């Protein structure tokens, strides 16, 4: 979709929903969650968060994230069952209820990142022993790891805490048998993701998975999979040359909007933030659409014939 078209629809965003018939409502960062007796309805909005708060509403973001996740759930269902029951609307999935395992399985193929929890941050500060694996001296930022690694964390609304496999088992968060199944599933999912991404000219750098147990105790993949919000992608064609030059890889960057807010406000302390520039919001929307089209091989088609909320309301009748 051309950026001029996006600019025309910069205000056509899904900010929130308020359905009374779908169950108890909980509000996530991006999704509105409705919990019924035997299923959950997840509605992906266009909210964009950073600094633990909403900073913008990005046209088509919810639809793009939902459709990318559905693509990957379909491409990996031979590896592990997932929680999808139906997708009655481009922004909506209905999923099975399950017992959530309180661990985020972070899988990494490269030594990178800039946040306090990133592998590169710990490595450059001198850490080499990460509990389940040891990295050698002399590695550089963005270097491919000799072997894909797991860096699980607690699943928290506050700050995620890194855990080793021994800690997970000793703290009773998972049995040894369940840990084996979860870790093997995460590695298989990541391998599939890397294989498909490579065919599309991308590198799947790292990601996170969430798992649950169904009513019979069988392991199930839940939440989302391989979206640009849960995963890091680089462009494969230029990675090696840029790495050898000490340059950052080409990636689908959302950082530019974060940096704008940091330059124009104190996003952690200011009660009211400035409004994000429309041209920057449109560019972020364009990047989300680009990665959807790259991954799925399909052109992004949005239904402009009716407002998003009206369409969702129509499609959810009878649920």
Whether residue 291 is found in the same domain as residue 236: no
Whether residue 105 is found in the same domain as residue 91: no
Contact 63, 90 (CB under 8 A): yes
Encode pLDDT of 37-87 as tens digits: 999 999 999 999 988 899 999 999 999 999 999 999 999 999 999 999 999
Whether residue 111 is found in the same domain as residue 168: yes
Whether residue 197 is found in the same domain as residue 216: yes
Whether residue 104 is found in the same domain as residue 236: yes
The average pLDDT across 271-276 equals 96
Encode pLDDT of 197-223 as tens digits: 999 999 999 999 999 999 999 999 999
Whether residue 235 is found in the same domain as residue 109: yes
Residue 112 in domain = yes
Whether residue 193 is found in the same domain as residue 271: no
The three state secondary structure string of the chain is CCHHHHHHCCCCCCCCCCCCCCCEEEECCCEEEEECCCEEEEEECCEEEECCEEEEECCCHHHHHHHHHHHHHHHHCCCCCECEEEEEECCEEEEECCEECCEEEEEEEEECCCCCCCHHHHHHCCCCECCCCECCCCCCCCEEEEEEEECCEECCCCCCCECCHHHHHHCCCCCHHHHHHHHHHHHHHHHHHHHHHHHCCEEEEEEEEEEEECCCCCEEEECCCCCCCCEEEEEHHHHHHHHHCCCCCCECCCHHHHHHHHHHCCCCCCCCCCCCCHHHHHHHHHHHHHHHHHHHCCCCCCCCCCCHHHHHHHHCCCC
Residue 249 in domain = no
Residue 148 in domain = yes
CATH code, domain carrying 14: 3.30.200.20
> Residue 206: phi, psi to the nearest 5?
-160, 165
Whether residue 223 is found in the same domain as residue 155: yes
171 is in which domain, residue-wise? Answer: 99-244
Which of 244, 276, 293 lies at the terminal end of a domain, its last residue? 244
Whether residue 235 is found in the same domain as residue 161: yes
- What Cα–Cα distance (Å) separates residue 306 from each residue in 87, 93, 309, 312, 315? 19, 20, 8, 10, 12
CATH code, domain carrying 131: 3.30.470.20
Beta-bridged to residue 203, according to DSSP, are 234
Encode pLDDT of 104-115 as tens digits: 999 999 999 887
The average pLDDT across 248-269 equals 90
Mean pLDDT for all residues in the chain? 95
Which of 189, 215, 244 lies at the terminal end of a domain, its last residue? 244
Residue 253 in domain = no
Residues near 24 by Cβ (< 8 Å), separated by ≥ 6?
Answer: 34, 35
Question: Looking at residue 287, what is its pLDDT?
Answer: 94
Contact 34, 23 (CB under 8 A): yes
What domain count does the chain have? Answer: 2
Which of 194, 209, 244 lies at the terminal end of a domain, its last residue? 244
Confidence of residue 158 (pLDDT cuts 50, 70, 90): low
Encode pLDDT of 225-258 as tens digits: 999 999 999 999 999 999 999 999 998 778 889 8
Residue 235 in domain = yes
Question: Looking at residue 255, what is its pLDDT?
Answer: 81
Residue 119 in domain = yes
Whether residue 88 is found in the same domain as residue 124: no
Confidence of residue 157 (pLDDT cuts 50, 70, 90): low
- pLDDT above 90 (res 90): yes
Question: Looking at residue 160, what is its pLDDT?
Answer: 77
Question: Looking at residue 252, what is its pLDDT?
Answer: 79
- Sole residue written with tokens 């450059």: 124
The average pLDDT across 133-156 equals 96
- pLDDT above 80 (res 304): yes
Residue 64 in domain = yes
Confidence of residue 159 (pLDDT cuts 50, 70, 90): low
Task: Give this prediction's pTM.
Answer: 0.94
- pLDDT above 80 (res 319): no
**Packing angle of the helix pair 255-264, 278-296 (nearest 10 deg):** 160
Residue 256 in domain = no
Whether residue 88 is found in the same domain as residue 108: no
Whether residue 220 is found in the same domain as residue 135: yes
């Amino acid at each position: 979709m051309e950026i001029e078209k996006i600019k025309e629809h910069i205000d056509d965003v899904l900010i929130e929903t308020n359905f009374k018939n779908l169950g108890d409502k909980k509000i996530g960062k991006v999704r509105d969650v409705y919990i019924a007796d035997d299923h959950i309805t997840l509605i992906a909005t266009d909210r964009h968060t950073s600094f633990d708060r909403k900073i913008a509403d990005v046209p088509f973001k919810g639809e793009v994230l939902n459709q990318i996740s559905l693509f990957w759930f379909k491409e990996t269902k031979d590896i592990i069952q997932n929680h999808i029951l139906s997708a009655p609307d481009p922004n909506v999935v209905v999923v099975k209820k399950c017992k959530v395992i309180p661990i985020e399985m972070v899988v990494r193929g490269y030594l990178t990142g800039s946040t306090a929890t990133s592998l590169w941050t710990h490595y450059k500060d001198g850490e080499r022993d990460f509990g389940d694996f040891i990295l050698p001296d002399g590695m550089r930022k963005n270097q491919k790891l000799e072997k894909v690694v797991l860096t699980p964390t607690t699943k928290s609304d506050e700050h995620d805490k890194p855990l080793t496999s021994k800690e997970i088992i000793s703290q009773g968060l998972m049995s040894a048998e369940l840990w084996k199944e979860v870790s093997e599933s995460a590695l298989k999912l990541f391998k599939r993701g890397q294989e498909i991404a490579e065919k599309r000219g991308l590198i799947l750098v790292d990601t996170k998975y969430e798992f649950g147990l169904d009513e019979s105790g069988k392991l199930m993949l839940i939440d989302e999979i391989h979206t640009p919000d849960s995963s890091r992608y680089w462009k494969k064609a230029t990675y090696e040359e840029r790495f050898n030059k000490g340059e950052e890889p080409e990636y689908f960057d959302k950082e530019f909007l974060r940096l704008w807010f940091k330059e124009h406000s104190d996003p952690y302390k200011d009660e009211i933030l400035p409004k994000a520039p429309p041209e920057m919001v449109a560019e972020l929307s364009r990047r989300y659409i680009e990665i959807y089209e790259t991954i799925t091989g399909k052109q992004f088609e949005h239904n402009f014939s009716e407002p998003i909320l009206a369409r969702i309301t129509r499609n959810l009748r009878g649920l």
